[in-house]
Amino acid sequence: MPIIDVTLIEGRTPAKKVRLIEELTDAAVRALDAPIESVRVIIREVPGYQFGAAGKPKSPPPPVDE
């Protein structure tokens, strides 16, 4: 059973995530000859401030209430 685990920075529309699931499923079916019923896709979303590249967060952290 192919399991495709995707991590994204939050903010994409539900429609975009549905399309991603469909496209990744189709790719797994084609590449692996896997039955479509066996393909699983997991989307995990993280806030931009918890995602870093080149030593910098994608977005600033939210203000902290003291």
What amino acid positions are annotated as catalytic residues? 2
Among candidates 4, 6, 5, 11, which has minimal Cα distance to 58?
Answer: 11
Cβ atoms of 10 and 48 within 8 Å: the answer is yes
Structure token pair of residue 2: 């192919």
Taking the CA atoms of 20, 26, 29 and 32 in sequence, report the sign of the dihedral they define: negative
